[in-house]
Amino acid sequence: MSSGRRTVTVFLAVISGLVLGILSLVQRWPLWIWPASLAALAGAAWLLGKALAPRPDPFAREYAPEPDLPIPPPERRAQDVQEVAVASSLPDYDFLFSATVRWCPLPAPSHAPVVSPAGLAVSAVLERAEALTKKLPPHRSSLAQHQLNGALGTMLSDPTGRVEVMAENVALTLAEADSQRLTRLSTVRKEEAVWEHERKHECDKRAYLGEDVLKNTGSAVVWWLARNEDQIKRAVDDIGVLAQLSSAANNDDVPERFQHMVPFPVPQPDPEPEPVPAGHFGNGFFDGAPGNNGHATASTSTSASTSASAHDEPAPPPSAADLFNDLLTHVGVPSEDGRTAVLARNFGEALHAMGEAEAAQEILDRFDFPAAPDDTPGNGNDDEKDNENDEEDAGW
C-alpha cells in the first residue's frame, strides 16, 4: 500500500472512531459496546485498505526474466534552407523556397556506406517541394506556401531509406522583378480582354446599323419609329434625312423617289466643255486667242479647209513659213508690214544658230523683202525709216 492510501485509511478510521465515541456518549451505551465498536471499526478500515490497494501488474519487472533496458531518445537534427529556387508552372519564373528541414536517421543495413544525413534530408525536402510547386502558377505563391506547409509537415523517409525528413516554417516567395513583370502582364491581359470586348461590341453595333438599320430607307424609317412610336409626323418629316443617311451608309445615291425630300441639295455633275477646233499648231493655241484683234487669218481658213477635207485625205503638215505667218497673225503684225522682214531675219538667224537652216531659209525666202521707197517729202516715212533703223540696231 502506498503512503497516500495509508494516510486516507488512517484518516477515515479516526473520523469513524470519533463518530462512534460521540454516539456512545449521547446514547449512554453500556461499557461492553466500546471494545466491540473499536474492533468493528478496525476491521472496516482493513477491508477499505484492501479494496483501495492496486492490483499487482502481471508483467512487472520482478516477474520478467530480464529487466527492461532504458530506451535512448531518438536523435533529431535540423538545418535551415534559405531562398532556394524551385520551378513553377511557367518557365523562367522560379519560386524562392525557405524552410527549416528536420530529419531523423533510420537504422542502416549492414555494410551500408556512410552518408550525410543533412544532405539527404535537404535533397528529399526540395524534391517533394518542387513536385508541388511546378504545378502552380508563380502569381499564386501565397497559396503554394500553405500547401507546402501541409505537404512537408509529415515525417517521411527519403528515397534512399536512410533518414526520415520533414520541413517547418516554410516560406515561398517570388523575386521582385518577376513579380513586377507578372503584374504588368496581368494588367495588359485584362486591358486586352476589355478592349476585345469593346471592339466586338462596336463591330456588332456597326453591323447592326449598317446591315439592318440603315440597309435602306424603309429599314431606317421603321427603326426610327420603333424608338419614337408617338412621333409619326416627325418620322414623315425626317424621311429625307433618313434616306440620305442610309444612302451615305451604303455609298450610294439617294433614290429618285426620295430626292425631293432631302433637306440638302444633291450636287449635279458639271457640264462637259465644248470641244475647241485645233489650228495649225495642233492644240488651238493661236485659234481665237486674245491679241489677234479680230483679224481673220489665212491659217484659219486653211485649217477649216483642212478639217473639211480631213475625211478625204490627210492634210500635209504645216511648213515653217506657215507657222511663222500664224505667229505674226497672232501678235497682230500684218505680213505686208515693214517689221515683218526684220522679224523674219532675226528669227532666221536664231534658227541658223539652232541648226535649222532649211526652216530658216524658207522663212527668209517668204518674208525677207525690202521695204518700198517713198520719195514724197513730209509724209512721215523718214520717221518710220528711223524707227526701223533703231529696231535693226537694237536687234529687233
pLDDT by residue, tens only, the chain of 396 residues: 556 666 766 777 777 777 767 777 777 667 677 677 777 777 776 776 666 666 666 655 555 565 556 776 766 688 999 999 999 999 889 999 999 999 998 888 888 888 888 999 999 999 999 999 999 999 888 889 999 999 999 999 998 889 999 999 999 999 999 999 999 999 999 999 999 999 999 999 999 988 888 889 889 999 988 888 888 888 888 888 888 888 888 888 888 888 888 887 666 655 555 554 444 444 443 444 444 433 334 444 444 444 444 445 556 777 777 777 777 777 777 766 767 777 778 877 887 788 888 877 877 777 765 544 444 334 444 444 444 444 444 343
Smallest CA-to-CA distance from 17 within 37, 33, 36 is with: 37
Neighbours of 98 (CB within 10 A): 17
Return the domain boundaries, the chain: 3-54, 77-107+115-180, 199-259, 298-393
The whole-model pTM stands at 0.41
Strands of the sheet containing 95-105, edge to edge, are 77-86, 95-105, 163-174, 156-157
Closest to 116 measured CA to CA, from 98, 129, 103, 128: 103
Measuring CA to CA, which residue among 133, 130, 149 is closest to residue 89? 133
Class of domain 77-107+115-180: alpha beta
Helices 33-52 & 3-27, crossing angle to 10 degrees? 160
The DSSP bridge partners found for residue 163 are: 105
